[in-house]
């Protein structure tokens, strides 16, 4: 029996959460080793586990993979969540990159100085409501199908629904004018593997709080 994938990161969302979502949606059980201090990160660096000296890192199929896109691409391809041909893959990549843009915006907001957060949140909400969500709603409306690409589940749907949960946490009203996105969220959330992941006690992580932020700053030696 093949070993379960093992994830190395801190006990929080960050850049590992899309990887958790994708594995869970694929029905793959995984283990996690949480970094607690900067010494834990240094140990991984010193033993040669981190090609570019940074996490996330995932041990899977005898490899130690780093770089989020590489990890997600491998998981998606392995579990048939990456389209049926090169054209579908290009569309999936394009949609996933749009989701990643917003995720990056959120990550930088979460660690920005308190006196800058209100202005950055206003800017982020404006882009969510007027740039990103309308674009994804338009895709679903253009073909009238249940999923973003090829009328079948792909990593694009999973990453987008993860983002929609985040948007809902920020401000539920942001989704009000996007009925097709709300329907997609409900559809993906009811898939058995995703439904299980959304239950209390799953590996899904809660929003970052002050305690988690303090730990992140300690691990990565941020000021």
| pLDDT tens digit sequence for 126-147 | 999 999 999 999 999 999 999 9
Question: What is the separation of C-alpha 40 from the centre of its chain, rounded to a whole number of angstroms?
Answer: 23
Distance CA 36, CA 41 (A): 8
Lowest mean pLDDT segment, chosen from 39-48, 76-85, 190-199, 214-223: 214-223
Average pLDDT over residues 140-158: 97
What length does the chain have? 223
Q: Which two tokens mark 185? A: 């969220």
d(C-alpha 10, C-alpha 15), whole Å: 10
Phi, psi of 66 (to 5 degrees): -125, 175
pLDDT of 222 reads: 79
Query: Quick one: pLDDT at residue 221?
Result: 85
By percentage, how much of the chain surpasses pLDDT 70? 99
Q: What is the CB neighbour count within 10 angstroms for residue 80?
A: 12
* pLDDT at residue number 111: 85
Number of other CB atoms surrounding residue 70 within 10 Å:
13
The DSSP string of 115-137 is HHHHHHHHHHHHHIIIIIHHHHH
Residues 107-130: what's their mean pLDDT?
93
Tokens 């539920």 label which residue? 172
Q: What is the pTM of this model?
A: 0.96
The answer to whether 64 and 56 are in contact (CB under 8 A) is no
Residue 55's Cβ-side half-sphere holds a number of Cα atoms within 13 Å equal to: 31
Q: Over the stretch 54-87, which tens digit does the pLDDT of each residue have?
A: 999 999 999 999 999 999 999 999 999 999 999 9
């Amino acid at each position: 029996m093949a070993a379960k994938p093992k994830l190395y990161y801190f006990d929080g969302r960050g850049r590992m959460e899309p990887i958790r979502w994708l594995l869970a949606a694929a029905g793959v059980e995984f283990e996690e080793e949480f970094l607690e201090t900067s010494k834990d990160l240094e140990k991984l660096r010193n033993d040669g586990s981190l090609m570019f000296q940074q996490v996330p890192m995932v041990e899977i199929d005898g490899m130690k993979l780093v770089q989020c896109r590489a990890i997600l691409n491998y998981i998606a391809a392995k579990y048939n969540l990456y389209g049926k041909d090169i054209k579908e893959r290009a569309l999936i990549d394009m949609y996933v990159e749009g989701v990643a843009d917003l995720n990056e915006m959120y990550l930088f907001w979460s660690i920005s100085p308190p006196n800058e957060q209100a202005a950055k949140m206003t800017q982020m909400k404006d882009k969510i409501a007027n740039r990103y969500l309308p674009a994804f709603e338009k895709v679903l409306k253009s073909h009238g199908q249940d999923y973003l690409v090829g009328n079948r589940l792909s990593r694009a749907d999973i990453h987008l629904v993860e983002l929609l949960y985040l948007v809902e946490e920020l401000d539920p009203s942001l989704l009000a004018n996007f009925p097709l996105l709300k329907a997609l969220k409900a559809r993906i959330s009811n898939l058995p593997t995703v439904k299980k992941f959304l239950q209390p006690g799953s590996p899904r992580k809660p929003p970052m709080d002050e305690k988690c932020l303090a730990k992140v700053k300690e691990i990565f030696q941020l000021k």
